[in-house]
Structure 1
């Protein structure tokens, strides 16, 4: 019990120092605390180091809450039967708390029933996790709908600007000329370094540490992968497919791995939020299942540093995919005869092209939009803006800064 108390005290002290000494910004998220207005569980999920813990702590500032981070090496090997000791230690140190914050609690096997008991006793609970399987299986059964999950990404472009202290001047949708110049310059930098908070606070080189942590803690350990170096090569290969279709069968032949292994490893990267997939839009279920998926990467920093790529058109498409995902859209692409639509959502058809003028836009992008039915038809460009008939041409920086999430 004394060891657990020491961990709790040390972790609370680190938390307070972080809010005193580090630059903390408001995130572009909905009012998540409303989901705790009744005894409930809020699960903040997302890729490791995206700021989940900080967001959770911001929600509970001013409240008396119990906090423990299970990613602490001193808690390695803690069993579910020890969680009552954690609960008792929290009460002894912080009194009769109403809120609990459990960071990376999925490290404790069988934790779900413990959390459910606290909820049934009237406690309001936030849990964080870096694996999308966190709310599957026993938790979904134990809570029977009494939980809300929210996925947090690394900084968006607007959050990146806020963190950098960049002040933007605009009246409605019109930006001043100096602001527009600053935005474009910062976008170039954002496309290179990405939005992981620690990368922006510490060093661009920190991206490699983040990638290694994710690969090892959130995929290798979970899937008990023994061929670690081969898996790292696989992960880098998958990232290099960003903004493109990927064939897992071809990848299995290239790496001389079984189809089952490749599928398991690929799903491991999806569940760890390293990659997001887009499926082919079709009215034929079998065709949708068998068609290749398109791959997008959770942060542009991985593209430039891990994939060693700087293709602006493809990175732009990746940024659009992340923006749509933040808005809660399921990603689909559409393929017709001799044309493709990059994103086909509930009411939008979107093409992405690296173009600064009308004459630079490939004809196939326009022809594809003319062949599909959609309420909004959009071409995301680098720096060309116009509306021609029913098609809106929007610069990527304006699209990313649109606050209609």
Structure 2
């Protein structure tokens, strides 16, 4: 790459950014993450491909009304870029934007080998936002060189609240019968199409495009997967286990590959934020390593398009609850609980609560309450919750109050 080439690429991307900034975008429920934009701290916005990371970055600087520069390293014109080329890129940015630009946004910068030292140098004088669809991008040289001076935010596709905002439906928790019905109709649609912004704007078929890009660009290419057909079968099978325990050893036998390969593939799809593996609660770390994990998929639209089995509404509900908890807790402190004769879907350690999810049409089965009470004996959680489809109220068992919350209300809370 030469200086003129770098300048042309930066200028071309600047034109696209200006068009983006002129558009209206859905406000994301991120809290005040702009507070992390201080020198020498780096804000890393991470998450699955096409969840809106670059748009969120641009919305942040637009709201702050500051001078900024933007560069997307997922551009095919930058393919093969190496660390020594980054000096030319930096020079091009100052020529195209301004030498006194104070904010820098680098999209998918981890595509460049050796990017870490480049960012580490820039953050000493600039406010830097980096985005990535690779959960391990901050575990290497950057983490060492920054010595903790970075803040990570995991962005998901639209939540149900953000989906309603996109559809121009009131996101306030409904009270009237008519409004509850309206919100539940949208919830049914959300369970089908999910929250990828492109899928909502273009159509459900776009989910297939996003899914294939994740598989091949973020996993197969990065991890040099050779057996592509078997890898596709593996991914489809794994997604079909949504809201269920999965044994990777058994899955390896079904697919016809060795366990080491399946471990690598599962690491890849988790690293690309396509799925999340939820550990079973164990008092000792060693116990947690021996248990099977439950798998949850990043978006209900992917489940409806990819999963092999017929859609199970109860399991889709559970996946939605998992995504809300993962989103709210930023992946921290979430487990499932299992004993000899009971299982509870979620232990939210951050908020000290146990949650059970059930697709109940008239009443909650007694076994759901019993499971919560048995888990509560073990964990002493402050709050016990059953997320239902449409039942609301409160039950009391053995002196403990158990909240019953409809799914729509839980997702909007």
Question: Which range, TM-score by smaller chain?
Answer: over 0.9
Q: Report the counterpart of residue 411 of structure 2 in structure 1.
A: 400
Residues 280 and 335 in structure 1, CA contact (< 8 A), matched pair in contact too: yes
Q: After the TM superposition, which of the residue ranges 146-155 and 307-316 deviates more from structure 2?
A: 307-316
Residues 344 and 355 in structure 2, CA contact (< 8 A), matched pair in contact too: yes
User: Mapping of 1:2-13 within 5 angstroms?
Assistant: 2-13=4-15
CA separation in 1, counterparts of 2:340 and 2:192?
Answer: 35
Match of 1:167, SS state, is coil
Q: Report the counterpart of residue 156 of structure 2 in structure 1.
A: 153
Match of 1:185, SS state, is helix
How far does residue 93 in structure 1 lie from its aligned partner after superposition?
Answer: 1.4
How far does residue 167 in structure 1 lie from its aligned partner after superposition?
Answer: 2.1
CA separation in 2, counterparts of 1:282 and 1:200?
Answer: 40
Residues 343 and 350 in structure 1, CA contact (< 8 A), matched pair in contact too: yes
CA separation in 2, counterparts of 1:307 and 1:9?
Answer: 42
- Indicate whether 1:100 and 2:104 are aligned: yes
Residues 46 and 52 in structure 1, CA contact (< 8 A), matched pair in contact too: yes
CA separation in 2, counterparts of 1:320 and 1:306?
Answer: 20
Unaligned runs of 5+ residues in structure 1 are none
Q: Report the counterpart of residue 357 of structure 1 in structure 2.
A: 362
CA separation in 1, counterparts of 2:224 and 2:66?
Answer: 39
How far does residue 228 in structure 1 lie from its aligned partner after superposition?
Answer: 1.3
CA separation in 2, counterparts of 1:304 and 1:254?
Answer: 22
Residues 116 and 142 in structure 1, CA contact (< 8 A), matched pair in contact too: yes
Q: After the TM superposition, which of the residue ranges 239-248 and 365-374 deviates more from structure 2?
A: 365-374
Residues 280 and 292 in structure 2, CA contact (< 8 A), matched pair in contact too: yes
Within the candidate set 147, 163, 166, 1:144 is matched to: 147
Q: Report the counterpart of residue 368 of structure 1 in structure 2.
A: 371
How far does residue 176 in structure 1 lie from its aligned partner after superposition?
Answer: 2.5
Residues 334 and 343 in structure 1, CA contact (< 8 A), matched pair in contact too: yes
Residues 70 and 103 in structure 1, CA contact (< 8 A), matched pair in contact too: yes
CA separation in 2, counterparts of 1:169 and 1:219?
Answer: 39
Match of 1:101, SS state, is strand
How far does residue 275 in structure 1 lie from its aligned partner after superposition?
Answer: 0.4
Q: After the TM superposition, which of the residue ranges 277-286 and 253-262 deviates more from structure 2?
A: 277-286
How far does residue 226 in structure 1 lie from its aligned partner after superposition?
Answer: 1.0
Q: Report the counterpart of residue 29 of structure 1 in structure 2.
A: 30
- Indicate whether 1:333 and 2:353 are aligned: no
Match of 2:217, SS state, is helix
User: Mapping of 1:28-177 within 5 angstroms?
Assistant: 28-61=29-62, 62-95=65-98, 96-120=100-124, 122-168=125-171, 175-177=175-177
TM-score (norm 1): 0.95
How far does residue 253 in structure 1 lie from its aligned partner after superposition?
Answer: 1.1
Residues 248 and 259 in structure 2, CA contact (< 8 A), matched pair in contact too: yes
How far does residue 169 in structure 1 lie from its aligned partner after superposition?
Answer: 5.5
CA separation in 1, counterparts of 2:96 and 2:289?
Answer: 53
Q: Report the counterpart of residue 231 of structure 1 in structure 2.
A: 231
Unaligned runs of 5+ residues in structure 2 are none
Q: After the TM superposition, which of the residue ranges 391-400 and 91-100 deviates more from structure 2?
A: 91-100
How far does residue 366 in structure 1 lie from its aligned partner after superposition?
Answer: 1.2
How far does residue 13 in structure 1 lie from its aligned partner after superposition?
Answer: 1.3
How far does residue 287 in structure 1 lie from its aligned partner after superposition?
Answer: 2.4
CA separation in 2, counterparts of 1:277 and 1:36?
Answer: 30
CA separation in 2, counterparts of 1:168 and 1:135?
Answer: 35
Spell out, residue by residue over 1:77-128, the C-alpha distance to the aligned partner (whole angstroms, 9 max, x if none).
Answer: 11110101111111111112111100000000000001111112x1110000
CA separation in 2, counterparts of 1:242 and 1:355?
Answer: 19
Q: Report the counterpart of residue 303 of structure 1 in structure 2.
A: 303
CA separation in 2, counterparts of 1:145 and 1:104?
Answer: 20
Residues 276 and 298 in structure 1, CA contact (< 8 A), matched pair in contact too: yes
How far does residue 288 in structure 1 lie from its aligned partner after superposition?
Answer: 1.4
How far does residue 356 in structure 1 lie from its aligned partner after superposition?
Answer: 2.5
How far does residue 20 in structure 1 lie from its aligned partner after superposition?
Answer: 2.6
- Indicate whether 1:391 and 2:405 are aligned: no
CA separation in 2, counterparts of 1:114 and 1:15?
Answer: 23
CA separation in 2, counterparts of 1:372 and 1:228?
Answer: 42
CA separation in 1, counterparts of 2:267 and 2:34?
Answer: 31
How far does residue 277 in structure 1 lie from its aligned partner after superposition?
Answer: 1.2
Moved over 6 A (4+): none
Q: Report the counterpart of residue 182 of structure 2 in structure 1.
A: 182
TM-score (norm 2): 0.93
Spell out, residue by residue over 1:250-284, the C-alpha distance to the aligned partner (whole angstroms, 9 max, x if none).
Answer: 11111121111111110111100000111111114
Equivalent residues, number: 395
